[in-house]
Amino acid sequence: MNESNVKSRKRVAIVGATGYSGAELTAIMARHAEVELVALFSSSSTARGPVTPTLPQFIAEPFSIDALIAAQPEIVFLATPNEVSAGLAPQLLDLGMRVIDLSGAFRLEEPSMYPTWYGFDHERPNLLGEAVYGLTEYCNGELKNARLVANPGCYPTSILLALRPLTFAIDREQPVICDSKSGVSGAGKKADVNFSFAELFGNFKAYSVGQHRHEPEIRQQLHLGDRAPVVFVAHLLPVHRGILSTIHIGFTHPMSEQQITDAYTRAYDHAPFVRVLPAGQLPELKNVVNTPRAEIGFQLLHGGRRAVIVSVLDNLLKGAASQAVQNFNRMCGFPETEALI
């Protein structure tokens, strides 16, 4: 870090720094040349302690609003549970801070969906209209002045990056099948026998079929219309990190490899963190774990009338922390890749 520009650095705080995503976020922001990390808070712990054992030099304090205010941050990252974010973000906005929320509290546009999918009522439903859905590659000027960014869910990011460039060609009469598999860190730090090593080693299973909170988020952001039969199935993969989504779609007209490649090129030619593989080549999880990158590959089937698309990313990075930093960089006018490569 260059000491000469300390004055001009953005003052940043992180709440929830001790969770898996929060710790990744802390590590990234600590090497950001344009940032001064003025406060790190855990969201649940009552004792101060290291953000994570791999970052013993960073200490998180138990959260208090007074301590946060005293630190005078300009931008606050919330890596907190949904309900905590829903309550805290409005307070911070009222204090004039900008907020990047990594939870699901501001991702859905329709307030009435919160009781159903998240189990709580939104006290400030108007913020749902204001919040920018931060799928960075699909944001333009709106991040520049955003007060509140809803950082996308990990599963939705993997699916939306794969499908958004192809929506023009997708047959909405046929089901869009999103068969996703995630590493266990996606569930957070848990004292739960169902997430114990002894139960998950060598195991694999689907979960929350038809009931996963990311499903309405995916539908909303796919822009395929209400009638499109989207199916989302999440699975628990016995690895620490990473999401792989296998997506099955039909087209209204047979597509060529070149047409698909062109569509992806148009979408991501200038996207530093999305890599599209040559036609017929499919990505694997290990190539993106511990990186801020998503990779996408596809295979045409049935004479181009269908495709299998495979998308991979690290759920804690492109699925959470590094995408939040992409959004932060855009909000502040910094290069999108700052601190990320």
Residue 259: strand pairing partners: none
In angstroms, give the least distance from the CB of 324 to its own copies: 20
**Among the listed residues 199, 223, 270, 337, the single contact to its own copies using CB under 8 A:** 199
**Among the listed residues 223, 240, 266, 270, the single contact to its own copies using CB under 8 A:** 240
Stretch in the footprint of its own copies (CB under 8 A) among 77-85, 146-154, 237-245, 323-331:
237-245
CA distance 41 to 174: 46
In angstroms, give the least distance from the CB of 311 to its own copies: 11
For the packed helices 154-163 and 214-222, what is the interaxial angle rounded to 10 degrees? 20
Query: HSE on the CB side for 114, CA within 13 Å?
Result: 19
CA distance 272 to 282: 19
**Among the listed residues 61, 74, 83, 179, the single contact to its own copies using CB under 8 A:** 179
- Tokens at 316, concatenated: 């804690």
Which DSSP symbol is given to 303?
G
- Strand runs (DSSP E) across 32-190, as ranges? 35-42, 49-50, 59-62, 75-78, 98-101, 132-133, 148-150, 176-182
In angstroms, give the least distance from the CB of 141 to its own copies: 29
Stretch in the footprint of its own copies (CB under 8 A) among 100-108, 217-225, 263-271, 286-294:
286-294
In angstroms, give the least distance from the CB of 120 to its own copies: 25
Position 47 contacts its own copies (CB under 8 A): no
Residue 207: phi and psi, rounded to 5, are: -150, 160
Q: Please indicate whether residue 139 is annotated as part of the active site.
A: no
**Among the listed residues 167, 248, 259, 334, the single contact to its own copies using CB under 8 A:** 248
**Among the listed residues 197, 253, 258, 278, the single contact to its own copies using CB under 8 A:** 197
DSSP annotation string for 19-59 = SHHHHHHHHHHHT-TTEEEEEEEESS-SS-EES-TT-TT-E
Q: Could you tell me if 309 and 247 are in contact, meaning their C-beta atoms sit under 8 angstroms apart? A: yes
| Interaction residues for its own copies, span 73-132 (CB under 8 A) | none
In angstroms, give the least distance from the CB of 174 to its own copies: 7
* CB closer to its own copies out of 91 and 208: 208
| Binding residues vs its own copies (CB under 8 A) | 20, 53-54, 56, 174-175, 177, 179, 181, 184-185, 187, 189-193, 195-207, 209-210, 229, 231, 233, 235, 237-242, 244, 246, 248, 250, 275, 282-291, 299, 301-302, 305-306, 308, 310
Catalogue the active-site residues: 154
